[in-house]
A and B are shown apart, each in its own frame.
Chain A
Amino acid sequence: MNSYRAHRPTLRDDCGMQLQRAWQDGLWANIINMAKSKAKLSKDPYFEAAWQAVDKILDGKVVVKDPATADLYDWALVSTGMTSDQYPKYIGAMRVNVVKANPKAKEIAKTSFFSCVANADWEHAQQIAAVMDKSFPAERSFHFRNVITTYIYADFSSEPLPPRAIATQDEMLLWLNMVIKETKGNDLVKCLTDPNYNPLSALKDGFETICSTMMDQLKELGAWDEFYTICKAIFEKGVAFWLVEEHEAKEKAKRDAQPKEEKSVEQKAAELMAAMNRLNITSPEELLKARLAAESIATRTIVKDWKMWENFIMAASKQPKAQWALAEVEKFFTRITEFGPQHAIYRTQLDMAKLIIVFETPSETQEEIFTLAARVEGLRDYIDSHYRDMSCFDNLRRFFGLLSPDQAKNLVVRLPRLYSDSEESQFRRIMLQTFHLRLRYFFTTSSNCYTPSSTSRGATCGICLSDAVPERCDTCLKEIAKECIWIWKAGLKDKALLEQLKGEGVSPYTDLTIIGSVCLLKLAGLDGLWGRNDNSPLAWADRKRVMQAILWMDAQHHSQSIKRQDLSVLLVKLYVLIGAASHAKSIWDSLEVKNVTLNCLGPLFADRLGTMAPGLWQNHAHNSTPTSQYLYYYRSAINKNIPNSLRLSFDHGSYASILGNLVTKTKHKQSCTLVMALVDHYRGIRSVDGEVMQGTWQDELAQHIKPGMRLYDTTDYGPFPNIEANPDRPIQDFLSIGPGLSEDRAHLSLLSERFLSLIAYKEPKDYKPGNADLAKDRDRNVVIPACQDMAEWMATLLNGADIRDKLTLPEVEYYTMVQALASYVGLSLSASKGDGLDRLVESIRCQLVNQVTRLTERRKTASEADVTRVDVFHDVSALHANGMLRESVLVTVHMIRYLDRARGAEPKSPMPKWMMEHIRILREATRTANRRLKEYIERLSTTVNPAGWADRIAEWAFGDLANGTRAVSDDADETYENSDTDMLLYKAIGPKRNFTMAIDLIVHSWAEAARGWSKVKLID
């Protein structure tokens, strides 16, 4: 594989100069002619067409021993579309024969081996590896290739594993992976704690990764007693190693260590002696011995690792004498932290560990009140010490969720005392104020902070004691929003503080903007239900609050000296939500999401783009769509990058990496992001072309995905601010057009694409079957079972209990309709009567009518005076819904055309009347839908283009303040009490702060969306 697939294979020497030259120059017509004549003369299969020749070889059971022939056929067959299923039969077996015939030829064996690996033919890769192992007994790499391929092949075929010897950490990791895979429950615990090899033995070998992996497994198995015992031994040894190390590097330790209590000389000598006894050494110099040095490094490293600490606390808390065990653990941590470089993270780690111990210490051993006070006190102290850390809040989230309403209120009330002193620095004040508001928002979104009540809203907020809906106290949201704006507005004037914040690398004003804006969005009614009963989550939202939130975030986005990616990502989502896709794209592009990050971050922007922004697909012929780079990425990753990495892993003996590469390949081939990119890519193309030229289903990236196959959603929501208390309702859920990627949605979308490809397929123009009726019969024999199969799979998915949580309403309608269309095709082509099919046709018609109705109904419900404002917002936020309607029409029209082709022009068996009637009904429904879509597109173009939009949006956001009917107050008269949110925000981001720029960009983006839609081709 070092040269495998990278170049054309080298031709055999006896090919002659002319053929060699033509081969080098890629003159395929010449090559074919010359090969033909040589085949005729020599009868040598080498010169025959590859597929034909290999078929002959298989039929005649000929054993190919010539490596050049194998190389050539491999190259030719893989290049002409041989699937991975065919490889073992056609090439894999041939590769084994070549290696067996040339057992001492290393390069031939290597090429053959990597060819099998690249094509996932583990059966023959293992056979070749076994031959190599036997032929070159002195070569460890061949030995381990045999081991790994045996393991991989055995893993796939569930056969027992052979025992093998192990030396390096990577070999050990491979062994450990096998053991973990093959052994379960108590047997695995026994294995991991075996006196002959356990985590302590791994450390003796200096294998920190092995030790860590074994400890992780013990944790996973819940073997807490074993974990505690081994961990204690590791920490005892760790302290001993550190003591000896400290002695050896006394001067360095003094320089690095924080000032601490000096111990007497005698005490230190005694400690050192005890440490040496623990390590079975007689002098510190013995640590220089390689093996002991490796153990020392590995042990000293692992006892400083946070994961080990966290699990050690957990194990101690599960001991019978938990309080005593936890105290012991804390002593270890305090001791360990004194050694080595004093990085800030270790101080944070120690404080965090102490806090966990406070929360984990069993309450029955203490006075309840004392425990509660200790918890709040511990949190307050931690915040006091670590408020500068950007991760301070995230570190403490786990504890906030454990507080009762009283404790939460206690903390909220007491926190301002940390910064209320007038002596406090401005920096400390703003950091703690921001923390306080974030904390209050967190509790507002936490169900723990509400107590049930008999009021109309059903609960009482534990913080402000108002009536509230659980996880949503409007009083708190309003107060938090106002306070955020107040502090943010004041901060704009303090240039010295802004400079200091920049120097410290923190941006509390961005946090204030995010918290305040999210409060406004929640007050606007965005609640994470994705417009389950409408076109968009914005359908019934208070647009004033939505626009205020967007304009505020935009103002901070442009003013911030430290670029915060969480704010950028929020803005991208919001701009997509209001239909300003091109503006969202410009912000998204500035984040430079590309290459490997497409798989995990791409969906944050590109999901559903193909339905809502046809303008971005205008240049699809030049491979310049938002999804082109995804497809390029996946093709390279699957066909080139991962096979290359597999080869490198084998070459370098990185056995654990081989397994990692295989997992990576599977996750790429079965990625939900890949499906999203494929489907949106072809949907976008269809929106501008109208016709189905080449569909998702013809793409090699989709062909291997079968219904029911496991698909992987690897979307990374890490870039979003983590401010919500309820992990099941994160912030991105209520700022998106619809739910994120899921296996079910991916399968539904692929099945729909498959249906479309099937019914829209047209034979090439030069295809003239001798017997047209027979050809049609054959076609029907393929289409009918395929449609029935698809309909069945789609029905299963659509009947899933939580399917409505995974789709937008327009998607539910579209997939339901496609399922009905597939059923109809499957049934109608084999039916003699149409009686049972009327219901299906009616359901398809209803789905179309429902979509069309929602497209227009809002115009009827809005008051006359408000109609323009409501309509435009309604129209731009419903782009996705209209995109799905366009797809619904398109697939229905293609089905009608297919029925026409399949049953239309048959003199012997003309289309039955009932089918003609069904087609008439559906045709009328699609034409009505197209008319409405055309009206929608025209309305979009005429309403978003006229001048004066900037004023209108300003008025949406700030009402009478923007149109001048309410006077803007003077700053000098302003107090927190006498001001309101609208006034504060208008003065902070209003015309004087140039918010018209943001508004202009929104209007420009809407105009672009309208232009894109005006080029959409609707087919009848």
Chain B
Amino acid sequence: MKKKLIVLSAAAALSAAAAVPAFAMENEFHGMYKLKYFLTNSENGGAGQLVPVKSTTAANYFEQRARLFYSAKANDDLKLVTGFEIDSVFGDKSQGGIDDASNKNTTAFRNSGGGLESDAVNLETKWVYLDFNIPSTPVNVKAGIQPYKDAFKGIFLDADIAGVYASAKYGNAQTAIGYFRPYEAMVVSTGKAVAPRGTDNFDIAVLEGKYNVSKDLTVGGAYFLYSDYRTNAPETFHTFGVNAEAKVGPAVISGFAAYQTGFSKQTTNGLTAGKGTTVNAWAANVAGKVKTGPGTAKVAFLYTSGDQDKTDGVDHSWQSVSQTKYSATAFTPNGASAANSYNESGMMLLNRNAAQGGTTTDQNIIYTTNNNGQGAVIITAGYDATITPKLYANANVGAGLTSENNATVAHVDSATGSNNGSHYLGTEINIETGYKLYDNLTASFQAAYLFLGTYYKNTTSGKDPVDPYTARVALSYAF
């Protein structure tokens, strides 16, 4: 009898154990979808600097982006995070393949699939990284292709990037150390990495620290090593900076100051750098926001240094990370395909603000914080109102200037034949209003108009270029 009871109890215990798995895997799926319809005289679905033109017929197009995120969570201390992206413009491209006659691909790959019948292989990798805590330590490690935004509000680096980043919390202090490898050296003719791998890279290393002095005051600092040895024109410079955020009554004030020093043998922004240019640049920011009425009022100021004299052997322009791929000789940093941002501005056309974008269209007057070696001054003010729990409206105004002018960007007055001396790029006003159709789905309208400044005076065949504008209707779904 006793035996039977023991067997029964054991069976019950076993079944209980079987029914509650000790290591239940948590599968988490999230994502977003954004559809935008554009009516604009300055955007075309691409990315890069917005160069004002004499006159242009307004473009209208639909653009969509989906992002899918899957996390495989073994437990609270260990997970694999993945993210994917699918971008398309309605009617653009589909059915990519190799053209028999030219033996070239027909480009229906990334950002395609919006043409008739779709049928494009257009799934992009965004994130793939392991996120885990080291047992019995306060250390968290993220290893793999991950999102990273610098402690200077993204003006140096804001991108998806492959590397290893370890952070730790000790009471009120936080520290972090990271190593990222944006590119290996490549044999351009074959598209293969230069052997042995890992010897001639573009590397970025980061050290960060943060301390909560009180619940209302946080101070921090960061250091970045930018070291690009892919070609025989290397570039290595250091970025040091401090930042702080304080709550003062109902207001939150934040800012940073950063300095760059190093050298570059690359021909950056037309600088005469062949013999080796010294980098000597800086940036500063201060911003405030305060809750007032039904929303938040905000002001912000950003300065990045620029370079005027290209022959003095010193590059004073703030260096920002951008995509620099495929070259056998030298790269042009700070150029096309920015990997930095300044979202605090609230601008849509004036500067690169990833928060106002959300689809592939990514075109701005100040496209990188380097601004073609000229640096930038961006002064903005705005108000974000929550009118009802379902309805919101935002308005922003902002002015942009170059810190220094140089001839690398065409701003020649046709009447005088020389570059305009004015630093004033223009002033943007914009609005956004949105309504939550569901908790997850928001319909919104964005519009921006940029009054061009005297920097562009008479720069298009003796006439001023037309002021850029954009109007967008959007649907945003997040789950």
Q: Do A and B come from one complex?
A: no
Which residues of chain B have a CB within 8 Å of any CB of chain A?
A: none
Which residues of chain A have a CB within 8 Å of any CB of chain B?
A: none
